[in-house]
Structure 1
Amino acid sequence: MKVLNKDELQTAEGILQTHLPKSYKVYGFLYGINRNKESTLQVVVDSWPGFKVIICRPDPKSKAALAFTKKVTFYSTDEEVLRKMLTDENAIDWSTYFLVGGFDISHAQMLKEVSAERQVNNRGFTLVHLLYLPDISYLLSPPADSELESRISSLNVSHTDSVNKTWKFGGDEKGYWNIKNLISNFPSCCITDIQGQLVAWMLVYNYCALGMLYTLPEHRGKGYAKVLISTMAKKLLSEGYPVYCFIEEENKVSYSLFKTLGFIEDESYRAAWFEFNF
């Protein structure tokens, strides 16, 4: 097992790009890290440069990593190598709570077996669709409205509390600082009313996925979500970012919305989130 340095992370990003869409989440993390976005992650591989498994895990040297939910992400082309890293090589700290997010659901049984061997409990957190936009030609933008366009801008840190209060995984201090970090370091988009008050918004997570799409209830039905997604997609593509998102399987409305705008998926692939030591 090897911890990647700065130059190796650049190389790994290029390798992962050839494995899209299944490698999107790890690719997104590396994309941010390689552009000097704030990160509390350490990236390890089974071998170098021809790795079969790459894991993003909390950096044991980072005090900030301890202040947030311990999140792990991996991409693997060889489950036996992955199993070896999780067992013999202790690539993950099994002694504490952690969340494995955005992994290929085909690895779920192996993760359950390894956690059972470790006498660590686990549970499925959510199952999602991975939708993505390969390039601008796929995007089906809604009709332009000059008046509405004049009310589109980026979020700033003063909006942190509003976003935190409505985010399903927020509402607390950790959520506040997480959102503040995202607004400060990653692209975002919002719509205000004619008085300049925030009515709808969208952020980008630190793994570069679109997320936290929200419109205040009294402003729904005006097509704001389509405008936000389209605006963000154009901005991200123009700046070289990947454009993708995870949609929970039960969220039929969001799934239909992104598909309507031209996002596609590999229908044979599902991603999942699992919790351990909860």
Structure 2
Amino acid sequence: MSEPLVFLPMERWGELKSVFKSDWPRGISAYTTLDTAEHIVNNGADYGFKAYVPFGDLTNGLVALNVKGTFYEVVVQCPKDDTTVLEDALMRTKLIDWNRSFHIPFTPKNVSDLMKRIITKKNLSSFTTITVTDTFYYNETPNFNVSLPSGFKFELLRMEDAQIADDTWPHKHPGSVWYFKLLIKAKLGYGLYKNNELIAWCYVKEMGALGHLYVVENHRRKGYGELVLKLISNTLAKEGKFVLAFCVVGNEGAKRLYQKLEFIQDEPVEWITVVRK
């Protein structure tokens, strides 16, 4: 039996992005994931992201492996409601190591339902956790009218800034500073500096979504978080990028901020983690 997941070289990612763009807004995460992975490679920060399509047909969806040390991520997206062919490919593939703990990020309902069936069929369900996030995006190009106060700069983060982002990250783990260094090397981290002191920052994460927005504690309640979101949204818009963000359900503060800035709220997605012992 031949391998059902067919490798898709980066030269053809544009074709696959077009397929997912036709499934808007459900396909936005797949589109921005491919777009950002391409951006990372083009900025000299290649980290081994590999894209595959079931049986070589782009309309069957995307399966991507994103392996970073012990972190094993399997991106699964499908541009149609019928996921039968994708499910068949996932059941038969030898490329995915189902014996490892793995993460399946930002799954819309069609893929979430599919992965739950896969997990049950492969008897992986004993240690499964699911996090639900709301999806926010801009359908039109944002253009916030903002200006920086005197003494402030908004610019790409410096490599030495990776440590403070890692130190303040609630999901920090041994070696996780590498992740922030990767994003900074790929020019996906932006900081707000006051008199050359970093006081707030935001990153464009690997899937193309805004994330890791943080304001240093003694600079909070001054509107800097909102300012950074506006500035980074304007920057991405000028680069022709889509502006996307995820917000964990229950994080009402972040949700209100996205709503205030007139992001469009779409259907929630699920982040599935399977821990193997």
Taking structure 1 as the reference length, the TM-score comes to: 0.87
The one-character-per-residue Cα deviations of 1:4-50 (angstroms, maximum 9, x if unpaired) are 12322221122222223212222122112334342422111124445
Tell me by how many angstroms 1:90 deviates. 4.4
Query: Which one of the candidate residues 137, 140, 154 is aligned to 1:132?
Result: 137
Who is 2:164 aligned against? 162
Tell me by how many angstroms 1:209 deviates. 0.9
Alignment map for 1:188-203 (pairs within 5 Å)? 188-194=189-195, 196-203=196-203
Choose between structure 1 and 2: higher strand proportion: 2
State whether residues 182 and 205 of structure 1, in contact with CA within 8 Å, keep that contact through their aligned partners in structure 2.
yes
Tell me by how many angstroms 1:125 deviates. 3.2
- Computed over aligned residues only, the root mean square deviation of the Cα atoms, in angstroms, reads 2.1
Separation in 2 of the partners of 1:81 and 1:186? Answer: 37
% identity of equivalent residues: 19
Unaligned 5+ residue runs, structure 1?
A: 59-64
Separation in 2 of the partners of 1:114 and 1:14? Answer: 27
Tell me by how many angstroms 1:200 deviates. 0.8
Identify if the C-alpha distance between structure 1 residues 165 and 66 changes in structure 2 by more than 3 Å, giving closer, same or farther. closer
The one-character-per-residue Cα deviations of 1:56-83 (angstroms, maximum 9, x if unpaired) are 114xxxxxx3514111112112222222
SS of the residue 1:232 aligns to: helix
The one-character-per-residue Cα deviations of 1:150-202 (angstroms, maximum 9, x if unpaired) are 332221101011000111222531x10011000110332212233x2211110
Who is 1:243 aligned against? 243
Separation in 1 of the partners of 2:166 and 2:64? Answer: 25
State whether residues 142 and 227 of structure 1, in contact with CA within 8 Å, keep that contact through their aligned partners in structure 2.
no
State whether residues 105 and 270 of structure 2, in contact with CA within 8 Å, keep that contact through their aligned partners in structure 1.
yes
The one-character-per-residue Cα deviations of 1:115-157 (angstroms, maximum 9, x if unpaired) are 2221223423310011001233x55x36534326x33222110
- Paired AA for residue 276 in structure 1: V
State whether residues 142 and 226 of structure 1, in contact with CA within 8 Å, keep that contact through their aligned partners in structure 2.
no
Residue 154 of structure 2 corresponds to residue 184 of structure 1: no
SS of the residue 2:247 aligns to: strand
Unaligned 5+ residue runs, structure 2?
A: none
Identify if the C-alpha distance between structure 1 residues 203 and 3 changes in structure 2 by more than 3 Å, giving closer, same or farther. same
Identify if the C-alpha distance between structure 1 residues 7 and 107 changes in structure 2 by more than 3 Å, giving closer, same or farther. closer
State whether residues 233 and 243 of structure 1, in contact with CA within 8 Å, keep that contact through their aligned partners in structure 2.
yes
The one-character-per-residue Cα deviations of 1:93-129 (angstroms, maximum 9, x if unpaired) are 2111110000013443442332222122342331001
Who is 1:13 aligned against? 17
Query: Which one of the candidate residues 57, 82, 93 is aligned to 1:89?
Result: 93
Separation in 1 of the partners of 2:57 and 2:173? Answer: 42
State whether residues 54 and 75 of structure 1, in contact with CA within 8 Å, keep that contact through their aligned partners in structure 2.
yes
Residue 256 of structure 2 corresponds to residue 271 of structure 1: no
Separation in 1 of the partners of 2:114 and 2:14? Answer: 30
**Which is worse superposed, 213-222 or 109-118?**
109-118
- Paired AA for residue 127 in structure 1: V
Taking structure 2 as the reference length, the TM-score comes to: 0.87
SS of the residue 2:50 aligns to: strand
**Which is worse superposed, 207-216 or 35-44?**
35-44
Who is 2:65 aligned against? 57
Identify if the C-alpha distance between structure 1 residues 180 and 206 changes in structure 2 by more than 3 Å, giving closer, same or farther. same
Who is 1:123 aligned against? 128
Identify if the C-alpha distance between structure 1 residues 66 and 142 changes in structure 2 by more than 3 Å, giving closer, same or farther. closer
Separation in 2 of the partners of 1:49 and 1:33? Answer: 21
Number of aligned residue pairs: give it. Answer: 265
Separation in 1 of the partners of 2:182 and 2:188? Answer: 11
- Paired AA for residue 147 in structure 2: A
Identify if the C-alpha distance between structure 1 residues 123 and 132 changes in structure 2 by more than 3 Å, giving closer, same or farther. same
SS of the residue 2:213 aligns to: strand
